């Protein structure tokens, strides 16, 4: 197995002990799960992807919390599994961990069906993505390749029942939940005293990935920036621990950097549209903005650009210029111009 960052212990001002456990969710892609003691029953936050060796890493990490940090417990003592959001690198191992522990599972209501009716979500989400890629003007050959890549990691997951609902304003054993839609519809962050589990809402290096709401309701840049503004108002966060990357010791300035990054991307998209000879598709904007992307990253770029185009369109800064075609044909590419 690949060598991963060490397990780290964090102590919250409530006295809870929080262990950060790395897993290799996908090749070369590390995700963090958190094991929490002294905030009610022993609680695991997120479960890795369930893909490849992810489950083995997680189990080994949990055992190391016992062996190396002297926490007197066994895997079977974990009574709660909280899922921060319905992305596979965070919940893919949930059925395995439920099997190992018999724990109750919690998630935000909007992402609940990702866990309880996984097959339905995959089929519907795949269709919505296909429609989006057509509308973005992606050529059929690339579209087929991207859809295949999208589907590959999603075959191994089984649905599980959900017992606990994570909602803003409904605390649980000292944990406060904040619904922060944007990166994912049911994204939840968890505040435990002065420690903030920021999941994929705030990350230390990467600006969390955005996709347009036209693919999935309750995502989109508008929701994301509102959620970011909401988190900025939470006082007293000493350290934010994300679902990936490093601990963030100044979350408030990191939030400002993320805002600035999106403002730059919005400007960049506007510049690309202005510079084009004719009204332009999201696919062409994406190529201009991210010319070097390969493989799965092309899909990520198409979603990221689409989220910014959607935001500009919602705010009346750009317009659809090929209305005749849109009216006449099934699902043609939309072509944008600056308003
Ligand atoms: Zn995510
Ligand atoms: Zn993630």
Residue 70 belongs to domain with CATH number: 3.60.15.10
Q: 95 is written with which tokens? A: 């059925």
Which residues place a Cβ less than 5 A from the ion ligand 2? 89, 200, 243
Helix (H/G/I), strand (E/B), else coil: 339: coil
Residue 156 pLDDT class (50, 70, 90 cuts): confident
Instruction: Evaluate whether residue 145 is within a structural domain.
Output: no
Instruction: Evaluate whether residue 126 is within a structural domain.
Output: no
Instruction: Evaluate whether residue 94 is within a structural domain.
Output: yes
Residue 233 pLDDT class (50, 70, 90 cuts): very high
Does residue 153 surpass a pLDDT of 70?
A: no
Name the β-bridge partners of 192.
195
Instruction: Evaluate whether residue 201 is within a structural domain.
Output: yes
Query: 236: CA distance to ligand 1 center in Å?
Result: 25
Instruction: Evaluate whether residue 90 is within a structural domain.
Output: yes
Instruction: Evaluate whether residue 293 is within a structural domain.
Output: no
Q: 319 is written with which tokens? A: 């317009």
Owning domain of residue 66 = 8-112+157-247
Residues 249/239, Cβ–Cβ less than 8 Å: yes
Instruction: Evaluate whether residue 67 is within a structural domain.
Output: yes
d(CA 65, CA 50): 20
Instruction: Evaluate whether residue 303 is within a structural domain.
Output: no
Residues 332/323, Cβ–Cβ less than 8 Å: no
Query: 203: CA distance to ligand 2 center in Å?
Result: 10
Residue 81 pLDDT class (50, 70, 90 cuts): very high
d(CA 42, CA 231): 26
User: Per-residue pLDDT tens for 112-123?
Assistant: 999 999 999 999
| Full-model pTM | 0.96
DSSP string of 179-194, one letter each residue: E--SSSTT-EEEEETT
Q: Tell me the ligand closest to 85's alpha carbon.
A: 1
As for how many domains the chain has, the answer is 1
Query: 131: CA distance to ligand 2 center in Å?
Result: 24
Query: 325: CA distance to ligand 2 center in Å?
Result: 38
Query: 324: CA distance to ligand 1 center in Å?
Result: 37
């Amino acid at each position: 197995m690949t060598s991963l960052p060490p397990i780290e212990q964090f102590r919250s001002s409530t006295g809870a002990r929080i262990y950060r456990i790395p897993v290799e969710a996908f090749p070369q892609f590390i995700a963090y799960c958190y094991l929490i003691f002294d905030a009610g029953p022993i609680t695991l936050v997120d479960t890795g992807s369930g893909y490849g060796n992810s489950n083995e890493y997680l189990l080994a990490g949990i055992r190391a919390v016992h062996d190396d940090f002297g926490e007197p417990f066994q895997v079977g003592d974990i009574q709660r599994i909280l899922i921060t959001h319905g992305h596979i690198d965070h919940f893919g191992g949930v059925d395995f961990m439920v099997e190992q522990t018999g724990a109750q599972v919690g998630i935000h209501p909007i992402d609940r069906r990702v866990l309880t009716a996984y097959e339905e979500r995959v089929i519907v989400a795949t269709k919505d993505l296909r429609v989006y890629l057509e509308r973005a003007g992606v050529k059929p050959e690339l579209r087929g390749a991207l859809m295949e890549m999208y589907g590959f990691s999603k075959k191994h997951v089984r649905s599980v029942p959900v017992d606990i609902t994570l909602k803003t304003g409904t605390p649980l054993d000292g944990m406060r939940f904040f619904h922060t839609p944007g990166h994912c519809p049911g994204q939840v962050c968890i505040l435990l005293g002065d420690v903030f589990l920021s999941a994929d809402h705030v990350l230390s290096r990467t600006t969390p990935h955005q996709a347009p709401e036209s693919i999935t309701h309750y995502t989109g840049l508008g929701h994301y920036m509102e959620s970011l503004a909401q988190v900025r108002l939470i006082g007293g966060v000493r350290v934010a621990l994300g679902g990936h990357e490093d601990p963030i010791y100044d979350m408030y300035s990191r939030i400002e950097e993320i805002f600035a990054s999106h403002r730059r991307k919005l400007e960049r998209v506007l510049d690309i549209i202005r510079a084009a000879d004719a009204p332009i598709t999201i696919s062409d904007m994406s190529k201009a903005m991210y010319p070097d992307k390969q493989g799965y990253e092309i899909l990520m770029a198409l979603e990221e650009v689409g989220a910014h185009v959607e935001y500009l369109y919602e705010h009346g800064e750009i317009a659809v210029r090929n209305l005749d075609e849109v009216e006449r044909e099934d699902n043609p590419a939309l072509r944008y111009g600056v308003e």
